[in-house]
Amino acid sequence: MSDISKEIEKQVLNKIVPNNKDRLRLENTIDKLKILVKKQIKNFNIPIEIELVGSTAKDTYLKNNLDIDLFICFPTSTSRETLENVGLFIGKKILEKQEECFAEHPYLRGEFNGYKTEIVPCYKIESVSQKISAVDRTPLHTEYIIKNIKEEQKNEVRLFKQFLYGIGCYGAEAEVEGFSGYLCEILILKYSSFEELILNASNWNYGQKLCLREEINPDFNTPLIFIDPVDRERNVSSALSDEKFNLFIKACVEYIKKPQITFFFPNDLKPWSMDRIKKEIKTSDFIGIRIVKPNIIPENLYPQVRKSIRAIVDLCKKNDFPIIDSFFYLTKDSINIIIHPEKHKISETKIHMGPPIKLKKNKEEFIDKWTKNSKTIKKPFQKNNRVYVEIKRDYVDINKLLKKEIRNLSLGKHIDPIVKENFIILDDNELLNDDFCMMWTKYLDKRMPWER
C-alpha cells in the first residue's frame, strides 16, 4: 500500500481512537451500570453473574460510535421464563428510552448516561456444547478476542470498522446486512492488519471460505463463509448479503487504486431537486405501493419488507409482467415499495406451451385439460413437434393485478394484517412528491459513497 494510504489511515485513527478522557467516562459509566444491575440482582435468589461483552470489553470500539453490551448470565438450571422475566425486569429498572428487542428471547435496549446500552440475559456456559440459546456464546466470543488479539491490532480493527461504516457495510443487523463487529475482529486476526485484509479481500470470490483453525469445516451457501473459532458449526458472516459483499470487494479494489479519506468519512448525499429528478426519470414507468409501517423494531421490519418485495415481484412475473428493478423506501409512517415493470399492459391472450408430441400420454392429458378449459381461446394445436394452446390471461393490466392480488400474498407477520385492511397504489403525482426526493436521488445517483 502507498504512503498516501498510510497518511490517510493515520488521520482516520486520530478521529476514531478514544482518548484518556473518553475512556475514563466510559469506564465510569460501565462501573455505575454494573453497580445498579448488581443491586437489582439482589432482589432475586439466583446466582446471576455480570459480563461486559462486545467492543467496549475488547477495546475495539470507535470513539463516537459505541454500544455498551452488558450480559446477565444465569445458571443453566434456570427456566427460560425466569431468565426472560428477570432480564427484562432489570433492564426496565435501569435503562432510559427503552425498547424491547428479541433475539432468541427478549432483551432490553435503551440508553444509560448517554450511551446506547443493551442488557441481555443469557445462560452461563463454559463451551458452546452447553449453549441453550444462541446468545449464550457471545461471552465466549469476547473471551476469545481478548485472549488472541494483539494490542496493535485493536486499532487495525478500528480502521476496518470505520472503512465499513464509510462504505455502508458495517453491521449485521437486518437493516444493513453487513459485517458484524466480531467478524471484523476475526478478520483482523486472520490477516493481521487492515491493509493486508484489504489486499486479500480485493481478490475474494463468491463463496470465499475462511477460518482460523485448519480443520474440516461445514459449507454454507453465503457469499462469505468465516467459520466461528468458538463454534465450528456457525458461519460468522451469515448475515452478509450478496449486495454488501460485492460492494465491499469493489471498495477494496478502488481503495488500493486510489486511497481517499472519503472511504472512511464519505460526504453526505445531497437530495436532488424535483426538477432534476423529472428530467432523469419517467415516473409513469414505475409503480409505487404504499403500506402503513407497523410499529416494530428494525430487526423485524426489514426482513418483512424484503419478503414483501420478493412476493410482489414473483406475483408480477407469474402473471407475465417481468420486473426490471425493484426497491423500497421507508418514511416515518410508511413502507413504499417501488417496482419497474417492462410493460404496464400486455396482450389479452398468450400461447401456452405443452409437452412434446412423442410423449403421448402427457400430450393427451394436456389436450384434454385445455379443450375443456373456459380460458381457452384457440384449441390445442401442434407446432415444431410440441403441442400448444392459446389461452386468455387473468390480467392484462399490472395495476389491476396488484390491486386485486396483493392482499392474497404472504408479505410478513406484521405486514399481512395491515395490507388486508388497506394499501395504496401511488400515481405519478404521488411518486413525484417532494418527500420522495431523497428516494429518487439514491436511486438515480450511481456514485459510490466514496465518490461523492
Q: pLDDT digit string (tens) for 373-418?
A: 999 998 899 999 999 999 999 999 999 999 999 999 999 999 999 9
Largest distance between two CA atoms of the chain: 83
Asked whether 138 and 122 are in contact (CB, 8 A), the reply is yes
Task: Please tell me whether residues 204 and 88 are part of one structural domain.
Answer: no
Q: pLDDT digit string (tens) for 60-115?
A: 999 999 999 999 999 999 999 999 999 999 999 999 999 988 877 789 999 999 99
Task: Please tell me whether residues 214 and 126 are part of one structural domain.
Answer: no
Residue 9, domain member (yes or no) = no
Domain-ending residue, one of 117, 147, 177:
147
Task: Please tell me whether residues 335 and 403 are part of one structural domain.
Answer: yes
Residue 269, domain member (yes or no) = no
- Looking at the 3D structure of the chain, how many domains does it have? 4
Task: State if pTM tops 0.85.
Answer: yes
Residue 83, domain member (yes or no) = yes
Three-state SS annotation for 186-255: HHHHHHCCHHHHHHHHCCCCCCEEECCCCCCCCCCCCCEEEECCCCCCCECCCCCCHHHHHHHHHHHHHH
Residue 7, domain member (yes or no) = no
Task: Please tell me whether residues 358 and 334 are part of one structural domain.
Answer: no
Q: pLDDT digit string (tens) for 105-140?
A: 789 999 999 999 999 999 999 998 898 888 999 999
Task: Please tell me whether residues 82 and 180 are part of one structural domain.
Answer: no
Rounded Cα–Cα distance for residues 214 and 113 (Å): 44
Residue 213's pLDDT is 81
Residue 2's pLDDT is 75
Which contiguous run of DSSP H or E holds residue 287?
Answer: strand 287-292
- Which three cell numbers, joined as nine digits, stand for 107? 432483551
Amino acid at 154: K
- Which three cell numbers, joined as nine digits, stand for 278? 423529472
Count of H-run helices and E-run strands, the chain:
16, 14
Residue 133's pLDDT is 86
Residue 353, domain member (yes or no) = yes
Which contiguous run of DSSP H or E holds residue 437?
Answer: helix 437-444
CATH number of the domain to which 72 belongs: 3.30.460.10
Task: Please tell me whether residues 211 and 341 are part of one structural domain.
Answer: no
Residue 131's pLDDT is 87
Domain-ending residue, one of 110, 131, 147:
147
CA distances from 302 to 174, 237, 242, 345 (A): 6, 18, 16, 31
Task: Please tell me whether residues 103 and 183 are part of one structural domain.
Answer: no
Where in the sequence is the domain holding 437, given as residue range(s)? 274-345+396-451
Residue 2, domain member (yes or no) = no
CATH number of the domain to which 241 belongs: 1.10.1410.30
Residue 130, domain member (yes or no) = yes
Residue 81's pLDDT is 93
Task: Please tell me whether residues 209 and 76 are part of one structural domain.
Answer: no
Task: Please tell me whether residues 335 and 208 are part of one structural domain.
Answer: no
Residue 278, domain member (yes or no) = yes
Rounded Cα–Cα distance for residues 414 and 200 (Å): 42
Task: Please tell me whether residues 429 and 329 are part of one structural domain.
Answer: yes
Task: Please tell me whether residues 367 and 446 are part of one structural domain.
Answer: no
Report the candidate in 430, 337, 354, 338 with the shortest Cα–Cα distance to residue 391.
354
Rounded Cα–Cα distance for residues 383 and 355 (Å): 11
Domain-ending residue, one of 231, 263, 295:
263
Indicate the Cα dihedral angle 245, 249, 254, 260, nearest 10°.
Answer: 60
Residue 234 half-sphere exposure, CB side, CA atoms within 13 Å?
A: 16
CATH number of the domain to which 297 belongs: 3.30.70.590
Task: Please tell me whether residues 94 and 166 are part of one structural domain.
Answer: no
The phi and psi torsions of 399 (rounded to 5 degrees) equal: -65, -40
CATH number of the domain to which 356 belongs: 3.30.70
Regions in the chain scoring below 70 on pLDDT: 1, 216
